[in-house]
Amino acid sequence: MASLSIKHSLPSLLHYAQIPKNPLSQNLSIVSRSSHSQIYGLKLLNPPSFPTPSSTRTSIVAKVNKGSVPPSFTLKDQDGKNVSLSKFKGKPVVVYFYPADETPGCTKQACAFRDSYEKFKKAGAQVVGISGDGPESHKAFAKKYRLPFTLLCDEGNKVRKEWGIPGDLFGTLPGRQTYVLDKNGVVQLIYNNQFQPEKHIDETLKLLQSL
């Protein structure tokens, strides 16, 4: 009888041995190793971990919506000078949050804003990029790619959290989100697209031309 019991249980043991305990953590590990890929091209916010359903829901609650006035802020630019959101009141402003300097997706996005900068000026709009990098990183990034607009340092991601920008991959990946504020500081467009960074430029210009 004992031998029969062993034969019956062996396939079951083999079956469970072939199934990873946590497939999602395995996938996240792969993303972590390839975090400089052309698709993501960014740095992870936190070490990959599997969140509870409640934490996932909390991370995607938007605090800034279309038609609202977003929280003000004062951040350092690439030259170490303080810049406040209120400085741009009276003219449209494009505020785009991106994951990190010098990553493929973020570089494509920044260069696309650069290449269309004259169109933004013609629309009377300012362009402001925000990430968690420090002034030195921003300065090198702006110099290397000849970026003509302001880059602000949201170290600690405080403003990103206050604005409620959702992360990707269970919050391990900083979100790529763009806002267009009108001359009164009211949000007229919110555009989120992690995987097609250059589309942010098309969508914002389209909206600005209709204001």
Task: Say which of 106, 127, 147, 189 is annotated catalytic.
Answer: 106
Work out the widest C-alpha separation in the chain, in whole angstroms. 86
Annotation says 111 is catalytic: no
Amino acid at the residue 101: D
User: Annotated active-site positions, please?
Assistant: 106
